[in-house]
């Protein structure tokens, strides 16, 4: 029996699929035989450039010039460039300093477009350097209701918009059930960059990104905020309770000129893992519809 050998194209396709799998899982660096402190390397000062050694004068009658293997650079050559800083200020910024800088930058934004540009240039959050895209928002910024999740996933990171994967499809169905869609709602996350491997953002990462989402809420100026899941609810309300205890509850949220209501409910990703809890989310969305209709 003859066995067919895989073609080079098939082997290359398998290798690319293998690499894509590891990238989606968050493996974005190759291991070396020796450990490296990348943060120290990125923050290390550029080495002092020493003056090039003077070459000895050539014998009489011989033309001066560089020889093979000579360490003396040719005349007029530029000095070697300093090593690039791969992670910007994210390698050395302390969380408190980064959060203070984020507050100062967020206050400068007068429009959502300005805020998005400021976020794109912000380099004190390390998530910016591991994510493919900034995931700022989707939907209608003039809408009365604003939905806030936790952080982007792989689909959102690839597309650059929030709630684009399975959880986003479920959110669209939930909104449709009460007469909403992305033309009548505004959707964002408290952290605009995908954490590697879809892990939860750390408290430090949330603290650095919080001034931007708070300014985003101020610029949208919604009548009602819906927090999807515990991280968004805890970040904006300060509560320590889990989402099963806070869901369905209304919290006050202060904007610069008024106070609006914040509704906590279950995240669509949680509902995909626990379908039996959809009945609780349906109660919350019915309450949301009543609030928008002025009946609650």
Continuous segment of H or E residues that includes residue 253:
strand 250-254
Distance from C-alpha of 88 to C-alpha of 124, rounded to nearest angstrom: 7
Residue 237 backbone dihedrals phi, psi, to 5 degrees: -110, -20
- The b/e string for 241-273 (b: 16+ C-beta within 10 A; e otherwise) is eebeebbebebebeeeeeebbbbbbbbbbbbee
Tens place of pLDDT per residue across the chain (296 aa): 555 555 666 777 677 766 666 666 666 566 666 666 655 655 555 555 555 555 555 555 555 554 444 455 566 666 655 444 445 565 556 878 999 999 999 999 999 999 999 999 999 999 999 999 999 999 999 999 999 999 999 999 999 999 999 999 999 999 999 999 999 999 999 999 999 999 999 999 999 999 999 999 999 999 999 999 999 999 999 999 999 999 999 999 999 999 999 999 999 999 999 999 999 999 999 999 999 999 76
SS3 (DSSP) at 202: coil
Question: Which sign does the torsion angle of CA 280, 282, 285, 289 carry?
Answer: negative
Continuous segment of H or E residues that includes residue 48:
none
Instruction: Supply the pTM of this predicted model.
Output: 0.71
């Amino acid at each position: 029996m003859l066995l067919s050998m895989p073609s080079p194209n098939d082997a290359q396709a398998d290798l690319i699929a293998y690499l894509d799998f590891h990238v989606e899982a968050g493996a974005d660096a190759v291991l070396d035989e020796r450990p490296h402190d990348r943060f120290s390397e990125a923050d290390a000062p550029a080495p002092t450039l020493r003056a090039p050694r003077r070459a000895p004068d050539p014998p009489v009658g011989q033309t001066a010039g560089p020889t093979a293997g000579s360490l003396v650079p040719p005349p007029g050559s530029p000095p070697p460039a300093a090593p690039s800083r791969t992670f910007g200020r994210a390698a050395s910024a302390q969380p408190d300093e980064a959060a203070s800088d984020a507050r100062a930058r967020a206050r400068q934004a007068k429009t959502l477009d300005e805020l998005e540009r400021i976020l794109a240039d912000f380099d004190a959050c390390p998530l910016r350097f591991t994510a493919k895209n900034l995931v700022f928002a989707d939907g209608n910024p003039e809408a009365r209701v604003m939905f806030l999740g936790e952080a982007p996933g792989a689909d959102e990171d690839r597309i650059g918009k929030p709630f684009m994967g399975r959880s986003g499809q479920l959110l669209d169905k939930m909104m449709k059930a009460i007469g909403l869609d992305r033309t009548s709602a505004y959707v964002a996350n408290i952290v605009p960059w995908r954490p590697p491997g879809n892990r939860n953002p750390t408290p430090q990462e949330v603290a650095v990104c919080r001034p931007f989402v708070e300014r985003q809420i101020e610029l949208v100026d919604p009548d009602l905020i819906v927090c999807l899941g515990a991280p968004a609810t805890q970040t904006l309300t300060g509560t320590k309770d889990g989402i099963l205890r806070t869901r369905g509850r209304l919290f006050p949220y202060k904007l610069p000129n008024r106070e609006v209501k914040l509704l906590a409910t279950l995240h669509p990703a949680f509902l995909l893992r626990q379908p039996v809890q959809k009945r609780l989310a349906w109660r919350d969305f019915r309450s949301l519809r009543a609030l928008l209709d002025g009946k609650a």
